[in-house]
Structure 1
């Protein structure tokens, strides 16, 4: 354990140095820690406070290191506890902040206004309503509800977690003169789709800061009301990257991808530097448009912005964009150039290869993923099963399906089952496909039965096609394509009575024939009959 002792001369020399200001990354943080140990400063309370603050708050991504330092301090004071709770609440694991708060209470350290605010923010991120209400009760007992900082955090918690009545009561009681609670309450109403109330609050604000403008613009954008969002956007006195991101993301969400790209160009023209959030939205727009040239242009912008050091998220988005734009070569190049890959990286490239007909390469990459001890998820297995289906690899498909269930303990969903039915159907193993459906642990949907019906048409199995069609008709009776597939099965085997029965079934059910073309009309030989036989193509989309 670190015990506190002082060394005033060394500490004075340390304070006069510029090491704290230079501590901007993990490496410099460790160098700073080493400096403290060598100079006997690592047990001084004020220095420990700053060391914990820098590792938990100032330097990004060093929260684990902060926990290691904190664990060595025998008697952390309230500032250290609060700093650790605050830093943990800002990470992807805010539950750690709640755990620290519990430890703090168990060790008899009395929380202050900052403690309550930080742990309430963790509860908000976790949507832990019951615990948040418990913290509210302790705030009341401790007499901190009148504190502006705590009260505003309570409004933020209740507004975000759905108790708008409590948030409004706290707001009406004493918070109407401050912009922070106005924004929190406005965001709470907007998040629950109550845009009229949110806009009324926004309009009534005595003073609007940039956060308030961004809250309202984001609300309109998320609900697809882009005209209203744009009107507010044009009125904002001074915009930041969040303002631009809200508009760009809103356009992408509304499938107005060209408008999103135009907004991005305007952002750059006005000198506003985009961030990762901006580029993720723009890549999504490029992918939806399927425009490879625009995608390449965005890629160059990202490369320049990040000086070649792309985040995993951006690299994954680039792979997805290139795959959707039909350039699987570029997607592979991005993937192979990544220094660090996560499961989504592998999913994107394995799925992209499978969908572009490179089944062998897709399966090889999946095997490489397993060799490198990367853990696949349910999306990975959908991708590799699609690859097996396209390559006609029945044995491998069965093997990977069983691997998913028995080794990785992933419960198959409707997409996995659909892929297996497609694998068996394409291979002509129709009876096995029917048996497989019978053993499914979830109810088969219409897409699975239609997949099997399509396989019966390809392989000319009238009896099994009739069985699949019966199951389809139990689910839906107004899809003309289902009838046409069965009709084609009859026609392919020269069973023209069956064709006529299907025609009558459609007429009796009032099913409209659409997107069909005539086949075999007016010819009579061993393959055709004067009856009209419709054809239709089937796409599988699980």
Structure 2
């Protein structure tokens, strides 16, 4: 779009100047002052930027759209497109219904660009019925012969519709269309039929990057990392999606060292990581508890944000808080939390849980109260974290109040909340109340809840209740050595050594092995797991 000044200078296109919601609002304000707000072309470009180009500006696009008395087809399609890819794809369908009701009288009818966006929304909504209705409308308008629309139909039916219909559409002209081939490969891969997907992939006359990435992702999701790596090494030209698929796959398979190796390779070839990359790596650091690597990831992330290769989103902030909390640095987690400009419920949950887990009970409850003061509505995860804090701090009365508070927020307690309450009462020595609470839960206690009660019985020396809890555990699972050991330790704490021997003999008779003790140490930047009591382990072969 060209703008004229007093010196007739050409202004850059709006989409080249707007990269954030703030800059978009500023551009809109300048347009209003300069009188461009009355220009349909200017408004169309503004809505296009808000709906398609600027992250987080879709709501602003809807506000602008609502101010237009008679939107043209381009504007309708733009907002439908943005909504189909946005956080609420059902909005795209609502817009289409509104367009059909109010647009037809003004000559606005859907075209070959409208339906592919709608079918994309149906795939994201996993709505077979809605997509089938749209297929009928496409045939009614005579658009099913258009290649763009046909590929969208193949993609819809292959992913969540009818594979027979997809195969029917995948004939004739579609056989020479790489997009149609990719849609079929993606459909079979995402439905878990990787053998069929691989057969189609191998038959493709030419392979695009999407089809390579779909197959790699399909193998990683099934944990077949060797096959994924084999394909990954053959990709002619990788993009960030290719690298992310491999990193996420290794993280999911808990082979974190290989995930880090792939990340290093990624940097060496000059590929910039994105938000997905960093989320996978931060998750890996959190799982293995390596603080030094986590700090390095944080520094790398800040460099990428500074160079504008990555935006620092709420999701990334939450991942950093979670990583630091799980790696034992609650101070760094708090620093990230206090530095975040925007937060969501997950942000509060992560820091409240982190503080509770590390025994900072007062700070955890203080932030819970601050969260409610700011009118952030807690969810079921919040209350689990708060109850953990009350349990670790021995704050029984506060825990009871928090448990009752769940009703005010219409949150139905689940087994995790019940388990926290049993743990809290058990730690406080209120074993009879804990048992009565379990009987009144309204759902059957699972092994974790019974094990929690058994642990409390060991701590406070209640043999009778420990025997009852152990009996329930053995009824559910006869092979968990930990349950036998807990009962054995309970007897030992009371000096009942005959009973200890009976429990050990019962384990031997039932063939229940005692799990090997482990300790994790770090040496030369490598994680080494020592199986201290496993004589078969190589490190212990020389201890004879």
CA 1:135/1:469 → structure 2, altered by over 3 Å: closer, same or farther? same
Mark the CA change 1:485 to 1:290 in structure 2 (over 3 Å): closer, same or farther: closer
Matches within 5 A, 1:307-322: 307=306, 310-322=312-324
SS in 1 for 2:171: helix
Q: Which residue of 2 aligns with 1:185?
A: 184
Quote the Cα distance in structure 1 between the aligned partners of 2:180 and 2:171. 10
1:142–1:325 Cα change, 3 Å = same
Question: Partners in 2 of 1:27 and 1:13 — Cα distance?
Answer: 27
Q: Distance in 1 between matches of 2:386 and 2:370?
A: 12
Cα distance in 2 for residues equivalent to 1:327 and 1:464: 38
How far is 1:504 from its partner?
A: 7.0
| Shift in Å, 1:160 | 1.6
Q: Does 1:55 align with 2:54?
A: no
TM-score by length of 2: 0.87
Partner residue in 2 for 1:476: 477
Check the 8 A contact 2:4/2:11 in 1, yes or no.
no
Q: CA deviation at 1:54?
A: 2.6
Q: Which runs of 5+ in 1 are unaligned?
A: 1-7, 518-542
2:189 and 2:218 in contact (8 A); partners too: yes
Task: Kindly indicate whether the alpha-carbon contact (under 8 Å) linking 2:131 and 2:161 is maintained by their aligned counterparts in 1.
Answer: no
Q: In angstroms, what is the RMSD of aligned CA positions?
A: 2.6
Which residue pairs with 1:419 in the alignment? 420
What corresponds to 1:254 in structure 2? Answer: 253
How much does 1:511 deviate?
Answer: 4.9
Which secondary structure state, in structure 2, belongs to the residue aligned with residue 259 of structure 1?
helix
Q: Is the 8 A contact 1:19 1:32 kept in 2?
A: no
Q: Which has the higher mean CA deviation after the structures are superposed, 478-487 or 365-374?
A: 478-487
> 2:164 matched to 1:165?
yes
Note if 1:462 corresponds to 2:457: no
Matches within 5 A, 1:11-50: 16-18=10-12, 20=14, 21-50=16-45
When structure 1 is superposed on structure 2, of 14-23 and 353-362 the one drifting more is 14-23
For residues 390-539 of structure 1, what are the structure 2 equivalents within 5 Å?
390-404=392-406, 406-494=407-495, 510-512=510-512, 514-515=514-515
Match of 1:98 in 2: 93
**C-alpha distance in 1, partners of 2:339/2:10?**
44
Cα distance, 1:497–1:290 mapped onto 2, change above 3 Å: closer
Matches within 5 A, 1:261-300: 261-300=260-299
Aligned CA distance change for structure 1 residues 70 and 259 (closer, same or farther; 3 Å): same
Deviation track 1:161-206 (CA, whole Å, cap 9, x = no partner) reads: 1532221221124311011111111111111221111111111111
**Counterpart selection for 1:76 from 71, 78, 85:** 71
Deviation at residue 516 of structure 1 after TM alignment: 9.7
Unmatched segments (≥5 aa) in structure 2: 518-544
Alpha-carbon distance in structure 2 between the residues aligned to 1:48 and 1:515? 68
| Greater radius of gyration (CA) | 1
Once structures 1 and 2 are overlaid, which stretch shifts more, 306-315 or 343-352? 306-315
| Aligned counterpart, 2:333 | 331
Relative to structure 1, is the Cα distance of residues 173 and 477 closer, same or farther in structure 2, using a 3 angstrom cutoff? same
2 CA distance for matches of 1:22 and 1:346? 34
TM-score, normalised with respect to structure 1: 0.87
Alpha-carbon distance in 2 for matches of 1:402, 1:14: 69
Residue 416 of structure 1: how far off its partner (Å): 0.9
In 2 relative to 1, CA 217–37 (structure 1 residues): closer, same or farther, beyond 3 Å? same
Structure 2 residue 147 is matched with structure 1 residue 154: no
Q: Which residue of 2 aligns with 1:534?
A: none
